[in-house]
């Protein structure tokens, strides 16, 4: 047995408005539900394609749709939620009631190409304060700096929930009885690292700075960095960022030349912003290009894309200097 605090006990001690705590309880509960479905795999009947594509023109998996429905229904049923936005929905949805204060955006199942191969996937979420109980999309378009909470659930070898409300980062593990237990009370990212994460198959398309940074890492102890690097790529941002929160590293998904009009692959509102909030709260840096913070981007569109370079602070500075 353990004397570790439960999620509820931890939340009771957090300095945050009751409404925000309710939002986090709903998210924790729904992520536990989604974890069950992910763990059941073929036995839950959730594997494979849904037959539809989302607003980004990506094939939706059955589990993308199921996770999206579970989150949307649970959040909109909560009296404190004013509206939701999701990677899997073209437009934002206001709640039917007019009592809510909070706006929640999410990627219901990040890394969904991992679902059918039993590799890690996760749910990423971002919480903002709304201006109106019947919000339109414009209400959601606030810079990441204004987030009041953010986090993710990682459905991996263990299911974990990692959260910030702006006072550090805490991690919980899902116990066999379905409850969340505080296991990682103060997550900090080491400032230095010898590990990078990038999809190397895109190398020829990158801009000069990223080419130079990665080339120097690959030269290892024989090159200007004077140390050997290791590479990891889970192909689910949620798992790559989790590794960085646990032991340091950098993660890049940079702009590339294939579609120059697109700023990057990852989405600002429900991938970049929540991960940037967590990374900065854990002492790391979360930037577009090694310098400009993701959290300062003024959003123009719900499904806006951005380049991402985040992780161990000193290593992100090396990306900027390359």
Q: Which residues bind ligand F6P (CB under 6 A)?
A: 110-111, 199, 235-237, 240, 265-266, 271
- Closest distance of CB 95 from ligand F6P, Å: 26
Nearer to ligand F6P, 28 or 154 (CB): 154
Nearer to ligand F6P, 139 or 271 (CB): 271
Q: How far apart are CA 34 and CA 31, in angstroms?
A: 5
Q: How far apart are the first and last CA of the chain?
A: 50
Nearer to ligand F6P, 99 or 113 (CB): 113
Q: H/E element holding 26?
A: helix 18-40
- Closest distance of CB 240 from ligand F6P, Å: 6
Which position's Cβ is nearest ligand F6P?
A: 237
Q: How far apart are CA 26 and CA 22, in angstroms?
A: 6
CB atoms within 10 A of CB 198: 22
Nearer to ligand F6P, 110 or 195 (CB): 110
Cα–Cα distances in angstroms (integers) from residue 287 to residues 20, 51, 151, 279, 307, in the given order: 27, 35, 18, 10, 8
What residues contact residue 63 under an 8 Å CB cut-off, 6+ apart?
Answer: 37, 38, 46, 47, 109, 112, 115, 121
- Closest distance of CB 56 from ligand F6P, Å: 9
Nearer to ligand F6P, 14 or 89 (CB): 89
Structure-block tokens of residue 169: 């980062």
Q: How far apart are CA 295 and CA 306, in angstroms?
A: 11
- Closest distance of CB 106 from ligand F6P, Å: 12
- Closest distance of CB 2 from ligand F6P, Å: 32
């Amino acid at each position: 047995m353990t004397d570790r605090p439960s999620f509820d006990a931890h939340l009771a001690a957090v300095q945050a408005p009751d409404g925000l705590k309710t939002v986090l309880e709903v998210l924790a509960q729904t992520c536990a539900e989604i974890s069950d479905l992910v763990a059941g795999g073929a036995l839950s009947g959730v594997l494979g394609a849904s037959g539809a594509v989302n607003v980004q023109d990506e094939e939706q998996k059955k589990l993308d749709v199921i996770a999206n429905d579970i989150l949307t229904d649970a959040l909109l049923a909560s009296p404190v939620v004013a509206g939701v936005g999701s990677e899997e929905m073209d437009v934002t949805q206001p709640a039917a009631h007019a009592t809510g204060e909070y706006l929640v955006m999410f990627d219901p199942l990040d890394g969904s190409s991992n679902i059918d191969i039993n590799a890690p996937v996760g749910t990423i979420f971002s919480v903002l304060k709304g201006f109106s109980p019947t919000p339109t999309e414009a209400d959601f378009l606030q810079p990441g700096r204004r987030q009041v909470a953010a986090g993710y659930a990682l459905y991996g070898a263990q299911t974990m929930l990692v959260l910030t409300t702006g006072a550090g980062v805490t991690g919980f593990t899902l116990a066999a009885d379905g409850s969340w237990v505080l296991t990682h009370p103060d997550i900090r990212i080491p400032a230095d690292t010898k590990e990078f994460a990038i999809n190397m198959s895109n190398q020829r398309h990158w801009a000069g700075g990223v080419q130079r940074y990665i080339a120097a890492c690959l030269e290892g102890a024989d090159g200007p960095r004077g140390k050997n690097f290791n590479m990891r790529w889970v192909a689910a941002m949620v798992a790559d960022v989790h590794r960085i929160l646990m032991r340091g590293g950098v993660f890049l998904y940079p702009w590339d030349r294939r579609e120059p009009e697109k700023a990057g692959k990852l989405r600002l509102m429900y991938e970049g912003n929540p991960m940037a909030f967590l990374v900065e709260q854990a002492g790391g840096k979360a930037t577009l290009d090694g310098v400009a913070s993701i959290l300062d981007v003024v959003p123009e569109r719900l499904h806006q894309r951005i380049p991402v370079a985040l992780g161990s602070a000193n290593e992100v500075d090396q990306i900027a200097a390359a």
